[in-house]
Amino acid sequence: MRFAPWLAIAACTATASERLHVVIPAGPGGGLDGTARAVGRALVELDLVERVSFENVSGGGGGRAMAYFLDNADRFETPLLVNSTPLLVRSLQGLFPYSFRDLTPVAGVVADYGVLAVRADDPRTTWEAVAAELRRDPRAFAVGGGSARGSLDHIVLAMALRLVEVDPRAVRYLPYDGGGKAMLALLGGEVDVLSSGLGETMAFIEAGEVRVLAVTAPERVGAIAEAPTFKELGYPLVFANWRGLFGPPGMPAETLAGHLHRLANMKESAHWQATLERRGWASLNAEGASFVAHLEAQERQLKEVMIDIGFVRPDE
């Protein structure tokens, strides 16, 4: 409750007359875009801001949006940048010269968890069975994912493999252009295991086409209550792909407090609960300092595994 005093001040200063401008580092239609627009819509409908405008700046794996945001932040009344876990991954890989430290982290809003899944008719029904087979022969079958080598789906797989003493570099990871195509490869039998996000997999789990071996959530997720977490299987693996909001560097404390106040109100509202329900998103409660701590912890977690799979060089 370190922020309680700020919240009190914010309650007086934050007015519904503010105009937010949200920069989205991706084209329209994707997860980041959906999150930004859902938050904006909730804030406007709940009368927490006057209006929200959006700007999609895609390109450079999010780097162009970052450059644009840093250069143009003072042009807008209240600028915000929406971002997600790949921001940390790309900073670590050195794909762009920015990190979350160039921004003022405001809050995490939603989380998606990683899942490892097999076809519903696969005789290997548990993560233990799959792990045992990979321990015998790491090349026994291929694992598919919806993103390039060295990005999220590959990282989640590597984290899981390390915990069962399988060398992540020995296992074949096949990257597909998006979780949907990776799912098709699983259903068609090109790969035997799929590493993907829970959101993208949900429809197929509900339809009984795939079985979730384990999910990286801290506790069982309501919508797929039958799927175990890695934690309860005895592996210390919790990993959330967060989506959250950032302000420009050196954002005044009262502006930050105003944002936190608004977001807190939004998260409590029935409108936002309904949105989460409808989109199948899990809420992420990490605001201000706790969001920064969350980012730092995740950066350490990512760095360790990325060194292991050869995408980040260890510090000398």
| Site for other proteins, rule CB under 8 A | 27-30, 33-34, 37-38, 41, 56-61, 63-64, 67, 93, 95-96, 139, 142, 148-151, 172, 174-178, 180-181, 183-185, 187-190, 202-204, 206-207, 209, 277-280, 311
47 contacts: CB under 8 Å, gap ≥ 6: 16
- Shortest gap between Cβ of 296 and other proteins (angstroms)? 23
Name the residue nearer to other proteins (CB basis): 18 or 33.
33
- Shortest gap between Cβ of 173 and other proteins (angstroms)? 9
- Shortest gap between Cβ of 312 and other proteins (angstroms)? 11
- Shortest gap between Cβ of 146 and other proteins (angstroms)? 11
What residues does 259 pair with on adjacent strands?
none
Q: Report how far residue 138's alpha carbon sits from residue 60's, in angstroms, rounded to the nearest whole number.
A: 34
- Shortest gap between Cβ of 248 and other proteins (angstroms)? 19
Name the residue nearer to other proteins (CB basis): 55 or 254.
55
What phi, psi does 246 have (nearest 5°)?
-130, 150
Name the residue nearer to other proteins (CB basis): 172 or 300.
172
Long-range contacts of 157-163 (CB under 8 A, 24+ apart): 157/116, 157/195, 158/305, 158/308, 158/309, 159/216, 159/237, 159/239, 159/301, 159/305, 160/116, 160/127, 160/214, 160/230, 160/235, 160/237, 161/131, 161/134, 162/305, 162/308, 163/230, 163/235, 163/236, 163/237
- Shortest gap between Cβ of 90 and other proteins (angstroms)? 9
Name the residue nearer to other proteins (CB basis): 38 or 118.
38
Name the residue nearer to other proteins (CB basis): 101 or 279.
279
Name the residue nearer to other proteins (CB basis): 63 or 168.
63
53 contacts: CB under 8 Å, gap ≥ 6: 19, 20, 21, 22
289 contacts: CB under 8 Å, gap ≥ 6: 2, 3
